[in-house]
Amino acid sequence: MKHYFKFLAILLVLSSSCISKSSKTLLFVGSYTEGKPSDGIHVYELNTASGELHFLAKKDSLVNPSFLKIAPSGDYLYAVLESQLPTHGKIASFAVDSLNGTLDFLNSQDAGGRNPVHIAIHANGNYLVNSNYTDAGISLFEIQTDGSLSAALEHLIFKDSSIVKGRQDEAHLHSTNFSPDGEFLFGQDLGADKIRRFTEKNWAKGNLDLTQMKPIKVKPGSGPRHFTFHPNGKFGYGLSELNGIITVYEYSHGDLRFLEEHLSYATKQEIYRAADIHISPDGKFLYASNRGPKEDSIAIFSIDQETGKLLLVGHEPTYGKHPRNFCIDPSGKFLLVANQFSDKVVIYRRDLETGELIKLGQELIMNNPSSLQMYTYETY
């Protein structure tokens, strides 16, 4: 009998070792629904060999889920709702079924102001920060164990302005980013030409109280919009909407030290509408999107790994209008762009050595795509 159980144990070990891991990469697309309830979030599966996308599911009865953010675990998706409306927006939480791509609504909370435009999640997955553009401010939420959101733990409002009439008559918080060390929060205030800074050292313990630090001023009239940190945690890159400039910083302990700046557009423009900025997973290349009015493009820069400084590789057209948001898949092999005004998502294959983009044939056709998120799930 002992030999039988020993043999059975060996079979179990061998069978488990033969189970190989595989993966599934999902794309989540948020959109503007023209202020009416509609199927505002679509989910696709990416073929990581060909770059083709296969439709899986959609979530209906949503109003303007214009910005999405996936949780660090991939188990939950968060969306701003009711953006660009005259009333307070909301932040919604969804559980992700990675097997079939469906989303299960969990709950929503008041965003604390009009026109929520951005979501950031702390690396520990326990806290979410929303940025409100029209009623300039940020709201801090706790993420519950089931992925749902608490009521706002804190809501900060900002009053300020800068020099561009009509765009900077008052403060406009466009995005926030947690620092690589997880102790600081940076907010891009397009209306005030400031990068607002906050510190909180108890993210792992709770009982939070965000402390405002002295903001970092940027060039008057630049309009800071989006920001990203390098994977090595040493550098930060800000994209300003109103002057189309990418600013390079050295990051250390809550401080950003200016290094250099580059024009995101291929040529000088009368009006700039720079939008989104991301770094490839390997940290070698930086990309930024430019939304017309005369140039709809993706700027491509290589990154010096020692200094963090940028070298222009080139520009690639987005084959559509108003590339509001784009993303790079977790493998780094593909880049996808949401051309909002052309109602389509364009797919590129990335050259991992040069950073250049090669457009693929497939395009996703959908109304007003505005935000893209991707996550790779392990399957067996």
pLDDT tens digits, one per residue of 114-135 = 999 999 999 999 999 999 999 9
- Look at residue 341 and give its three-state secondary structure: helix
- List C-alpha distances in Å: 348 to 87, 176, 335, 340, 355: 37, 27, 5, 17, 11
Q: State both tokens at 262.
A: 């580059």
Q: Is 125 exposed, middle or buried (0-12, 13-18, 19+ CB in 10 A)?
A: middle
Please state, as a whole number, how many other Cβ atoms lie within 10 Å of the Cβ of residue 49.
Answer: 7
- Look at residue 13 and give its three-state secondary structure: helix
Report yes or no: 189 and 203 within 8 Å, Cβ to Cβ: no
- Look at residue 264 and give its three-state secondary structure: coil
Q: Is the pLDDT of residue 379 over 90?
A: no
State the pTM of this model. Answer: 0.93
**Whole-angstrom Cα distance, residue 189 to residue 69?**
20
**Whole-angstrom Cα distance, residue 234 to residue 366?**
38
How high is the mean pLDDT of the chain? 94
- Residue 85's nearest CA partner among 57, 107, 111, 64 is 64
Helix (H) or strand (E) holding 8: helix 2-18
Work out the pLDDT band at 53, boundaries 50, 70, 90.
very high
Pairing of β 53-59 and β 41-46? antiparallel
Work out the pLDDT band at 13, boundaries 50, 70, 90.
very low
- With b for 16 or more beta-carbon neighbours within 10 A and e for fewer, the 350-374 pattern comes to beeeebebebbeebbebebbbbbbb
What pLDDT shows up at residue 14?
43
**Whole-angstrom Cα distance, residue 220 to residue 245?**
12
